[in-house]
Structure 1
Amino acid sequence: MVRSPYLLSLLLAGSLAAQSSPAPGFRLFAPFGSLDTYLVDTNDVIVHTWHSDHPPIGAYLEDSGALLRPIYTPYLPNVPNIGGVGGGVQRRAFDGSLKWQYLYASNFGWSHHDVATMPNGNILMIVWDRLTAADAFAMGRNPAYQTSNEWNPCAIIEVQQTGLYTGAIVWEWHFMDHTIQDFDPTAPNFGVVGDHPEKLDINFPPEADLRGEWNHINTIDYDPVNDLIVIGSPYQNEFWIIDHSTTTAEAASNTGGNYGKGGGFLYRWGNPQSYRAGTAADQQLFFHHGANFIDEGLPGAGNT
């Protein structure tokens, strides 16, 4: 599956600074705010264009030749005022005809940023769970850190197409099932943060933005060989790898799945301060915007 940057300017910058021997193949990009997605060759010649009725927040060319686009739905009510907001996903055939449109946009949850295709055709979507500050406080969030009545932690849903405009959520994973904190001893997730690297401290970082956004997950990828998912956050400055082989019930726990850890983090990297295992000097990621598995056949295959 071919990946695309969000912004045309990123591609143009790379094109202008191209090396004398660019990698063979085509480049896919979707200008932010545009209704068109372009496939170009190494001479910057447009070889194919897809038109849509929704602006994109990303674009992927699937192995079948179909175009997968997480889309922005500004016409729906109660759109979150958060960067990367989406609202759904579209799949279009190579000829541009609509093969599927699925919206995930309500007062309970909203899709954003990135998606990933699975070999069975299902889609992994990053979504916000639209909660309240009271929900966060009940799980040990320090009220001194909260500046909003909103609380929008991230989650992952796997969606199976059931019709042209419908889909079924067949698997899900939620950050709020995997929190730890040492602020409120009456909360159910109270514990020693440093003893639980498989969980995320609900009070790290202390600040959440004015919209109650805690994670801002903006990238997701799937490893079909090992049945793993990687996601990354520029707020925690980390990426995490989790097990997808679990059931939804197991994904909410710390048992089950191929690795026996349920939905707990199998691996994390970027900022050990977040689990009390280092200092600022140990931080490796700084507001990153990408974490992907390296595909077979590419240099570094199997790594992240």
Structure 2
Amino acid sequence: MAVIGDEVLQNWEVIGSGGFGQVFRARHKDWGFDVAVKMLHGNCSSSQALSEEANYMNKASSPFVLRVFGVYQGCPPVKARCERLGIVIEIMDRGSLQSLLQNFAGPPPWPLAFRLAHQLALGMNFLHQMTPPLLHQDLKPSNILLDNNLNAKLADFGLSSVSTSFLKCSTTPTGQVGGTWAFMPPEAFDLSYKPVRAYDIYSYGIVLWSILTGKEPYSAKLVDMYRPQMIQQLSMAMAITEDLGEMVHPEIYSLIEAKETSEEKMRVLYSATLRSGGVKVKAAFYNAVRHHEPNLLERLGC
């Protein structure tokens, strides 16, 4: 695979960041067009993970899989300049399926929804027809990127592995069993589970549901699952209660408004407002957290 260095990249800018690392846009001087450079937060294990992801993406050459141009090795123009390893991939200017669904605030038009579903199916089928079959293992709207014409391509192969049904043995497959819980099949929560094609097929079904409804799966259940972490880490309780509006009891609202937010007040907010509010209030709370504290949901792997 080609190694791309600083001498051919210019006009760097950050276009995405999170707990995993950063994604940059840069202009390739020789090629004359922009590329994306994905870099994880640096250590030996992250470098190995990037190398494995680049190899998987390089093997999975398809119109419905994000194209990889090579491996970046150099010192990007960021605050802590040091030698970094990254993947150089094609730029997808329309963002992700997740951002598209958020912008629509509902399901996309039927012709677009059908085309996206079809392109995703073609991409997953291509991976599963490789020899050996390649599993994505983290199919979700944020890992489905869109080009200028809203064509979908699969991205983020960091959890990919070879199907154990193809290996026909009990040894641990390449990669790791993981993913985002809302898109994982129930059997994948078993510690002894070994991934097969059915894992991706289940995830595709949940993504298809999200496309057709314009909604996120299990938002109310997510509040229950991560309630302690949300209570401990949230710093925007006032803004969130304003978004919830009349769903918040007036006394609780006044209590939070009168004093600086604390973990104890967040516990009171949850106990008095959310626990008895049912699915509707929990879903509203989730949407408010997503708006005001998106980094919290990313840290929780949501």
TM interval, shorter chain, is under 0.3
Q: Which has the higher helix share?
A: 2
Q: Under a length normalisation based on structure 2, what TM-score does the superposition of the two structures give?
A: 0.27
Q: Which has the higher strand share?
A: 1
Q: Under a length normalisation based on structure 1, what TM-score does the superposition of the two structures give?
A: 0.27
Q: Which has the higher contact order (CA 8 A, sep 6+)?
A: 2
Structure with larger Rg: 2
